[in-house]
């Protein structure tokens, strides 16, 4: 199955605890070429966990949208993928997460230890579902074991529709810089679409990395935190060479409306809302008031009190 054609090369990266339906709808509204759910455990989906089912809610405007699954057991990942595939345009497998809780089970970036296994995984999954299967990787386990090109070729040979690469190793976590040279090498070596990722925070960097690496698209994670409007900025910069800014608080109010629309539990708001207020005048005061609130209505009233617009 072919990877969908994107309206923009700027894609919202999967972010656990961030890319809920409300955030994804905003990113899409502001021009993201594609959106990803946060990673969802295949085990949790097959067990019908309410929290995981909430993570895979999708918005009607959100097309194409990918679900990102993780798991160490291909049969279970297939079962989860079959359960969700009707709602999604792409099934993505997480082979990049460096978190111990995930890698100790052999899932996430631990799979980079065994490219042949990734190949078998993709092969079985791609033949079991009716949607394109993609993989998101890191460039390798550590400096001595950089194998992104090898993994990408194996993914392609086994029916993967695209590959996304965060230009860091598992060992690096978030330290150092994303290695776009390796991402460029992957793009040169495979024919399936390649999505580059890592340290793209501004429209200027986006354009520079796109041109340097020749990738088909770039995923943005931290650059969209608190600023899903970044997709509008990137698209405008690519088209006309300039872009506008939109205040974090204005974006926060929009986000809260969507949170209410999609009945996201209030507890989640407390961890998600503060990113919109980073670096703005009065941000600390707003974060304190977010912390004190116990209901959605209380939060809106309190925000309107500290921020009049």
Ligand X SMILES: Cc1cc2nc3c(=O)[nH]c(=O)nc-3n(C[C@H](O)[C@H](O)[C@H](O)COP(=O)(O)O)c2cc1C
- 107: its two tokens: 């899932």
Least separation in angstroms between CB 39 and ligand X: 3
The enclosing H or E element of 181 equals: helix 180-189
Beta pairing class for 162-169 and 194-197: parallel
Least separation in angstroms between CB 113 and ligand X: 17
| 36/307 with CB nearer ligand X | 36
DSSP per-residue string spanning 223-285: GGTT-TTHHHHHHHHHHHS------HHHHHHHHHHHHHHTT--HHHHHHHGGGGGTTSTTHHH
Give the integer Cα–Cα distance in Å for 225 and 171.
24
Question: Is residue 170 within 8 Å of residue 140, measured between CB atoms?
Answer: yes
* Catalytic residue flag (residue 97): yes
Least separation in angstroms between CB 248 and ligand X: 17
Task: Please give the span between the terminal C-alpha atoms of the chain, in angstroms, as a whole number.
Answer: 48
| 15/118 with CB nearer ligand X | 15
137: burial class by Cβ within 10 Å (0-12, 13-18, 19+)?
Answer: buried
Question: Is residue 283 within 8 Å of residue 277, measured between CB atoms?
Answer: yes
Question: Is residue 74 within 8 Å of residue 119, measured between CB atoms?
Answer: no
| 118/200 with CB nearer ligand X | 200
| 170/197 with CB nearer ligand X | 197
Question: Is residue 306 within 8 Å of residue 282, measured between CB atoms?
Answer: yes
| 18/286 with CB nearer ligand X | 18
| 176/282 with CB nearer ligand X | 176
Least separation in angstroms between CB 28 and ligand X: 17
CA atoms within 13 A on the CB side of 37: 27
Least separation in angstroms between CB 304 and ligand X: 28
Least separation in angstroms between CB 281 and ligand X: 25
Give the integer Cα–Cα distance in Å for 19 and 255.
11
Residues that bind ligand X (CB under 6 A): 13-18, 38-39, 68, 94, 96-97, 136, 166, 197-200, 220-223
Q: Which of 18, 21, 74, 97 is catalytic?
A: 97
Instruction: Return the active site residues.
Output: 97
């Amino acid at each position: 199955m072919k990877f969908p054609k994107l309206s923009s090369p700027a894609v919202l990266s999967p972010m656990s605890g961030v890319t809920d339906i409300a955030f994804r709808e905003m990113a899409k509204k502001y021009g993201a070429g594609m959106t990803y759910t946060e990673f969802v455990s295949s085990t949790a989906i097959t067990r019908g966990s309410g929290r995981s089912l909430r993570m895979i809610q999708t918005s009607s405007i959100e097309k194409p949208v990918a679900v990102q699954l993780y798991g160490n057991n291909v049969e279970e990942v297939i079962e989860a993928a079959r359960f969700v595939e009707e709602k999604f345009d792409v099934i993505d497998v997480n082979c990049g997460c460096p978190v111990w809780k995930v890698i100790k089970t052999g899932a996430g970036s631990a799979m980079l230890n065994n490219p042949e296994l990734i190949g078998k995984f993709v092969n079985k999954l791609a033949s079991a579902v009716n949607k394109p299967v993609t993989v998101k990787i890191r460039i390798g386990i550590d400096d001595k074991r950089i194998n992104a090109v090898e993994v990408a070729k194996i993914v392609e040979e086994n029916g993967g529709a695209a590959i996304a690469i965060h230009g860091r190793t598992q060992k690096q976590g978030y330290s150092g810089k994303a290695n776009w040279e390796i991402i460029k090498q992957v793009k040169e070596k495979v024919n399936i679409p390649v999505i580059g990722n890592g340290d793209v925070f501004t429209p200027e960097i986006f354009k520079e990395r796109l041109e340097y690496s020749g990738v088909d698209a770039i995923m943005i994670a931290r650059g969209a935190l608190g600023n899903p409007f970044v997709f509008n900025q990137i698209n405008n910069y690519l088209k006309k060479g300039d872009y506008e800014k939109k205040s974090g608080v204005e974006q926060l109010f929009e986000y809260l409306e969507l949170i209410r629309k999609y009945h996201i539990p209030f507890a989640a708001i407390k961890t998600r809302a503060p990113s919109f207020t980073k670096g703005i005048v009065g941000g600390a005061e707003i974060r304190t008031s977010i912390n004190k609130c116990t209901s959605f209505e209380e939060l809106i009233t309190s925000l309107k009190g500290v921020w009049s617009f």
